[in-house]
Amino acid sequence: MSQNLIDFSLSAESLALIDEALTTLENHLAGLVALPLDQRRQLTKMGDKSEAFCRQALHVMGENPGILPRNFDLDGLRRDLALLDSLRPRALRVTRLHEKLRDTETALGSDLMTNGLEGYAFLKIAGKGEGLEALRQMLSARFNRTPAKRAAPPADAPKA
């Protein structure tokens, strides 16, 4: 084996505990939202500078509640900020974990593909006359390229 970026295994017990932990996360975070792409694009975004503005505006509004209309939900705004502050460090941890999972998946796929290709090359060379021709042909299907079929022009299309 010429490449081994990762050598890691998980026991059935570990996988069960991971699944249990994920279920717990899903249950406790059931209030999270999944926005459709078009809605996500249309929303007003809050960057770092905007966050400072929002925090200051909330402070000013809290100090001067009489200037706000009665139906303005200042307590709801405070709850939103508190939830944002409590979710952020956890979101960062989940993001780091997701990146490691993605990188591990990429490394595993690369190990599998690199070593699969290496083994296939050995099979092509050393497997001749060993009764492996059918298996080699089955594996070679991965590399067979068929030319893309050209779409026939419509009957009423002008000819060039």
The pLDDT score that the predictor gives to residue 107 is 97
- List Cα–Cα distances, 139 to 7, 109, 122, in angstroms: 25, 17, 12
Angle between helices 48-63 and 74-126 (to 10 degrees): 160
CA distance 67 to 116: 70
Q: Which residues, in sequence order, are CB contacts of 71 under 8 Å at separation 6+? A: none
75-105 per-position pLDDT tens digit: 999 999 999 999 999 999 999 999 999 999 9
- Dihedrals phi, psi of 5, to nearest 5 degrees: -70, -30
The pLDDT score that the predictor gives to residue 151 is 61
Residue 120 binned pLDDT confidence (cut-offs 50, 70, 90): confident
132-148 per-position pLDDT tens digit: 777 878 888 887 877 66
